[in-house]
Amino acid sequence: MTAVAKVDNAQVTSSMRKVALTALAGTSIEWYDFFLYATAAALVFPSAFFPESSPTIGLILSFGTFAFGFIARPLGGVLFGHFGDRVGRKKTLVIALVMMGVASTLIGLLPTYATIGIAAPIFLSLLRFAQGLAIGGQWGGAMLLVTESAPADQRGHYGAYAQAGAPVGVILANLAFIIISATVSEDFFMTWGWRIPFLVSVVLIGISMYIQLNMEDTEAFKELEALRQQRLTAKGEKETVARRSPVIEALVKYPKRIALAAGAFLSIQVTFYILIGFILAYGSDPNGAAMSRDDMLIAVLLASALQVPAQFWASGYSDRHGRRGIFMLGAVLTGIWGFALFPLVDTGNFWLIVLGITGGLVFLGMMYGPQAAFFTELFSTEVRYSGASLGYQIGAILGGAFAPTIATILWTEYDIVWVSAYIALASVLALISVMMLTETYQTNLNEAS
């Protein structure tokens, strides 16, 4: 290799590292905000916003507001997907990050039921809806900013930085609650302490400004824009009237791929939100393992920390051997592990609980790590933001929106084994969906069809 080639490679690596770490920072804080709500919904919101309900009904209602964020996610995917394919990945990502920062900060300032009555849970639901809109737009922007910029043989690896934002967000959210819980009294925590982690979300606005001022859009989008300008010059302004929304184009061009991408995401979503949300309520239930709130938060934190390297390993493997095989293996292992999870939690042994949660998160990480590259490669540049976001967010609402609520009902009305069966069913549907998709890892992103 010549000296010039070495310099060029070093510059590419340095540039990609900057893009990847910026995407990791942005997505980590974005997911921190989104998951912060899941933790608060399990531990704080039932008493703060639904005090007149029984503990079980309050928990179900609290998880119901949690679902509002998922209902908004496909709408966010449509809205931000449209502009992401029209005006660029970077600008759209910045708007999504600002929206999340504002919504999360306002949750931290929201009066409870004791202060403003029924208006409190209504406002809480509206702010959760805004969080959902933001997360619906954020994923596509961050994921494409990384994968469209990466070398063809490293899309999985660099895409894993955007995907790592999810477990890192869980770690940050749980750590925030653990620190606050350990430094203030229980009464202060339930009244004011829980608000502090939400107020910290204002930092996301600063990250948004950094991306706006220091990052460029992807080469794939720049090439698309140049092609559009050539067409306008050749055919005149009338062409702009005839162009359909990128969202409509994606639905017309790739209906099967969008549906199968959504199906592939089911196992990840169902299992993930059971492991980071429902498990907190189940593990601290006085009739079961009766672990402390902080012990359960630490268990999820440790498991999430181990999920990160698992995702990077799986993503690197997918660069060399393909996306589908590792994705399908993850679905199979996740479905099987669902039946080991709750017996391990029921032991009441802290380290066995960590093992149970870690197994679930590591196995779903084998799917979630390569997913950014996989979904990127399924769609062509002009509709990639819209197509990937639609598949991701439809899968999110079908799999994650009501997972904690469904799990709570199955647990309280039937038996915990039915929650394991629920995880297994989602894994089977994901496995079938990926089997029906073609391999993508050698796709040229500028020629995807």
Query: 12: burial class by Cβ within 10 Å (0-12, 13-18, 19+)?
Result: middle
Query: 248: burial class by Cβ within 10 Å (0-12, 13-18, 19+)?
Result: middle
Q: Rounded distance, CA 331 to CA 442, Å?
A: 22
DSSP 437: S
> What number of helices (H) and strands (E) belong to the chain?
21, 0
Q: Which domains occur in the chain, in start order?
A: 14-224+239-435 (1.20.1250.20)
Return per-residue pLDDT of the chain as tens, 449 residues.
554 445 456 665 667 777 777 778 777 877 787 777 877 887 788 888 888 888 778 877 887 787 777 788 778 877 877 776 676 667 777 788 788 888 888 988 999 888 888 898 899 889 988 888 887 777 777 777 788 778 888 888 988 888 888 888 888 888 888 888 788 887 888 888 888 888 887 776 777 677 665 666 556 555 655 655 565 565 555 444 445 677 788 888 889 999 999 999 999 999 998 998 888 888 876 665 567 878 888 898 899 999 999 999 999 999 999 999 999 999 999 999 999 999 999 888 899 999 999 999 999 999 999 998 898 889 887 888 788 888 888 888 888 778 888 898 898 888 899 999 999 999 999 999 999 998 987 887 765 44
Q: Rounded distance, CA 318 to CA 439, Å?
A: 10
Q: φ and ψ at 414, to 5 degrees? A: -125, -100
Q: Rounded distance, CA 282 to CA 345, Å?
A: 9
User: Which of 160, 93, 168, 171 is CA-nearest to residue 368?
Assistant: 160
| Two tokens, residue 35 | 């998951």
pLDDT at 5: 46
The 3-state DSSP composition of the chain as helix, strand, coil percent (nearest 5) reads: 85, 0, 15
pLDDT at 241: 43
| Two tokens, residue 201 | 């979300």
Cα dist. 295→177, 272, 278, 292 in Å?
12, 19, 15, 5
Q: Rounded distance, CA 143 to CA 371, Å?
A: 10
Q: Rounded distance, CA 177 to CA 118, Å?
A: 26
Cα dist. 386→78, 132, 140, 418 in Å?
6, 16, 8, 35
Q: Rounded distance, CA 128 to CA 318, Å?
A: 34
DSSP 190: I
Q: Rounded distance, CA 64 to CA 341, Å?
A: 24
Q: Rounded distance, CA 130 to CA 107, Å?
A: 11
User: Which of 174, 175, 171 is CA-nearest to residue 304?
Assistant: 171
How far does the chain reach from its first CA to its final CA, in angstroms?
34
Cα dist. 147→23, 61, 206, 221, 227 in Å?
11, 38, 23, 12, 20
| Two tokens, residue 439 | 């391999």
pLDDT at 179: 85
| Residue 267 near residue 427 (C-beta atoms within 8 A) | yes
What is the maximal distance between C-alpha atoms in the chain?
A: 73
pLDDT at 320: 93
User: Which of 178, 138, 162, 215 is CA-nearest to residue 21?
Assistant: 162
| Residue 34 near residue 169 (C-beta atoms within 8 A) | yes
| Residue 399 near residue 266 (C-beta atoms within 8 A) | yes
Q: Rounded distance, CA 405 to CA 274, Å?
A: 9
> Residue 18, CB half-sphere, CA atoms under 13 Å: how many?
10
| Two tokens, residue 235 | 């055919």
Helix H, strand E, coil C: the string for 256-314 is: HHHHHHHHHHHHHHHHHHHHHHHHHHHHCCCCCCCCCHHHHHHHHHHHHHHHHHHHHHH
| Two tokens, residue 442 | 């050698």
| Residue 166 near residue 138 (C-beta atoms within 8 A) | no
> Residue 20, CB half-sphere, CA atoms under 13 Å: how many?
21
pLDDT at 233: 60
